[in-house]
Structure 1
């Protein structure tokens, strides 16, 4: 009996040990496979970005396929997956897929926050900021994300990240605040010169050259751009080299040497084709068209523009293509060609005959119009007298309704501020007296939403008095808005800013911006177009 028990115990222990060994072996095998895919992605990152993207998506799929996360390597896989999402966001942004880039950056952030990888957040906030600037067309929101990235980088003393964040802040401020823009760019250059890698130096020099060119400091711009290109060649960074050649093409066209610019732009286009960078090729042809136009070669200018237009349509960027299609008429070569064509002469003759006929009709219409105007003036005078008092009364009622709506909105904001103050006081009481039932009950009270069901009904009634038929009009247009979306649109109609909306709805500013983003996607609003304006126009 004892012997049997010993044998059973021995085999039980042996089975447990074998199972543990098997789990560790599987763990190692999965790690090797993920490392292999990660190495392939890194190897192709600068020379074949389309392949790098493929391997990064395979990493995400492979990690998601792991049935049981093993504790020994769990955070390893989480870190790799977060990194994969980060770099995928970079590639999607470079290909102008800004919506997807923003989503991927947020996924990277979510993984890092959920698994205690806070020290790695700076790079993800940085990437999210770049995507958000393009998605929401808002420098203010992008700068907020960049400042978050700056705080994390400073906290963990990540100077390598800081120099890149400073460069992005310089770019973000470039359009509106020259002083802040140059302050951040100078910080970036000083840091990269002292501690940056060759790869970082190339990127920062290129960014700095672009802002110097925008500020017309062409001499300094060329110096930094040439330094960047030398480093890109040294690093065998073909993506960076292509951007540098493109920037050189723009530079020489801007300084009055378009022939030299054409040479560099053609080199950039050849490299784009080799890299399969379909998202940026159209804009290289657009710049080439501008350079040909600068030397008076309108035939080549028009041909380059047609290629740009064709490639843009191939990317299904129909909205952008329509806007820029109007530029075709700007080419003198085509204008002269059309003027000299037989079709143009024929259409001109037909137009003259139509104009003669229209002139005769207009003379008759003029007589009838004068008669109608005289009668209309008399009738109009009488009608105005009747409706003048009514219009004044309606205007006064509308002004009263507007004031009531404004007062009620202020009450909601004041209610929010009072609740925030109460919450802070409760936290102080809690720290002083500890957990007590009465304090808990008060905390539950302060956790309630600012805009209650009754508040919303009152708000909606007052809003409808000022803007009658507003929501019905949107529904008739086919926009099936939820109650929360109606609230957001109503706040936008009142021109409340992000902070005020967040305060009234008792949510974060980030949540307000994400709600805007989801609504933009739902109604297919074009990039850069204000949501409210799009809803009211369509």
Structure 2
């Protein structure tokens, strides 16, 4: 469990270097403070919080207590700093098995954090208090404190805090002898920590599983998990964690009756725990070692070691270790058929065991557990109801959206249908107008051609008459004839109007593309467009057929056409 949660404080006064833990020899609290006293209070507070985190991580609790004592002597400590010191003291006292002092510190820290509204820190304190009660063998109080911490972590959505609390629960289930629940919970936590790559907590959960499987006589599984945790902890080299894994490994060997292997691991475990200064574990390891020595036949040494462990446990008021020690002595004397001593130690065992577990305490733990499970189920019901409500809203929204889409689609279809109908009518109207214009232009052109043909016939007759008439009369008649043959300006105006209706914009486009064309060239261009042959074209323009041919030649030059190019094709593609 992370005991101190703090971040590097990047704010420093101008001209003062930031505090770095790597620059300190923290063995002396006085020298440590003298080195940082030039910094402001906020920076000093941040330093001690970081120092607390490091010393806690390294299990250097006696050193931590010295620093906390000196830190507390400083003037101007605010309530948050006081609570921080109390919390640190609580963890330190718990580590050295001074459980009553730890309990007092944790309670005072909880009161301050609660007043300050510091929920995350309050949860950390409840977690520490739960651990303290656990080592005092007050399992109902331990379970209650952990439950409080768990609820706060869940409210804060602190996944890491929730998982830390859940990984402590298998221990409570273990001492309630609910091994199935303990194993299931531990396996769930182990899966989480493996997935997150947290080797420290992975090894911790493996030690819990090793203990649970030992209690259910599944010694091979116990050996597998204890060895797996040992492999991970060998890499870190931390004395306390290594000692814990070695003790669990010895349990598996004890279950398999491999006493020599168990003794070797227990001796190494005891040395590591003494090095780490974890008094809480030392008594347990000594008891396990005494049991193995007894099994190998060295009963005096085993009895001496076991009494020593009980004496240590009585000093630290470790109820579970005391009860376990008396139970082992009872077993030793019972096996020796010394029933008088066996009865004495059994009565002592029963007294201490009853102080840990009685019907009322078991009921309290069960009630808390049921309350937690009930609340979780109620929360799940609320969540499911919310999901159903959201799903219902989504369905209504989808339905409304679908109806809107259908209405929009219907309106779009109606609009398109109406527009298409109008377009068809408009196209039909334009088509009729175009056909009428084409017919009008055709009729106009045919009338002109017919007119020219009539004039030609009339010219022949006039020529015959002219033979008998005088020269002056002949010239007057021919002049009137040519006036009839040539289209008038009004005729051309009418012609262009009709042409433009059939070919909208054609004349303007021709003028814009070839502005240098003369009026006669433009007229001949339009007549070619209408497929009027040279003879008819000559009649309409009032020139000879030869002149029409010459004009065609000039037009090809103006349009930059070669000899091989076809003028008619050019005009039609224009």
Structure-2-length-normalised TM-score: 0.47
Structure-1-length-normalised TM-score: 0.50
